[in-house]
Structure 1
């Protein structure tokens, strides 16, 4: 007769360090959301931003990688819930590559919604599906270097090519906030001329097509599954529409938990969150605690 220890010998959670305790959300709505996830994990959707939430913010976005314990924590939790979905402004394939999500046992049904939901990557197939790019992105891409020269953009300002959008980063400038402020009005005008919008973030301004955001993407995904509860974790202004989506779902009777991957750069999310954790390391601890608690009650 096998022991309970034997039954978990190949469980991804067993390779992780001792799990932390599960934190208590500060709000009644958050506590209800957490309780619903724990009571019926097989009906729960776990949705997460990538940069600043699963991956630490770094000066060069091309060097961003998921926290080293993020994939093991997700692999331990994913088989026990209805869905794990990463919702990001990055191209889906870039998030998959930088996250190390492909081919991981336990993440067989992971979904990555890239470009704010315009792209979808499914672990089951390894394929990315997406509509045709917005023509305004190519026009902005062509004009942007000249515009930055004309306005005297600060040294260290850099353009990030994202395929379906273009971002301008100021984190490497000598005065990142002054460099950011200098760009706001000119980039808003450039985007408007080509039918795009500007999405501000942590020392970054992204010019992208309208009509799709993390809230729309999350609602479409959740409603397609018909789950019993949803958790969303994010860190930046682009995550506010996803917060609003969870709040809308809660008003419709679906329990939800809003988690903020805390930072000193953006405080808007922490003011609305049910639970604030200490950056990507805190998000990983939360995922590990959920995986352990779900295992112990299942």
Structure 2
């Protein structure tokens, strides 16, 4: 019934029914309902297409998970067995216009846990509304960590002179009047060790960057700024430090992928492409 309601556009009613169904679901049923619940938060009609794809994949077997750009089946989904993860992902889902970002969030959590023991602070370049960082900060109780997290963004979109081909329309639609720097800054008010900094990369990095970096999350959606950021920050990345490239494997971000591959290959290094669309790099010790 709930699936039919979602197809009919009655998303809130469908979400309520999914919530009721969770209370008496078996573990396997629970996973299927949680995936549907995530699709119900997607502010786009494509949720119906994703629901249809989900149902087709369920015909192949169990443990199906689907989000924007990634579907898995016959795979363990440990995040769906983690109640805290599920609750926080659902709590902040509206901050990101993409459904079921769980695999990507899991990658970032893994990197942050590993980076906790590495010398240096954390840096995020490209914050948007703060979805990934607020999720991770709450999950990890980051306020109690002996680290600082520096978040940089223009909060006004990608500067025109940094736009890669094909990004102009998306840039305008995503950023024009949809949120503000103040809104994002206030979202992190409970974390005295998180700094939200407004400015253009790479220029803003000249004045307020930590001397040592343990974790770098790169999500600037353009190759010009990301290569400039690598030039500015790579030497500050501690041995064993981790970079997660948010856009690296997405077809729409091919300019970033190619530019970063060239930058790393010139140094005898390589980024690992992940099926999430992310790229992962660990600096050699």
TM-score using structure 1 length: 0.29
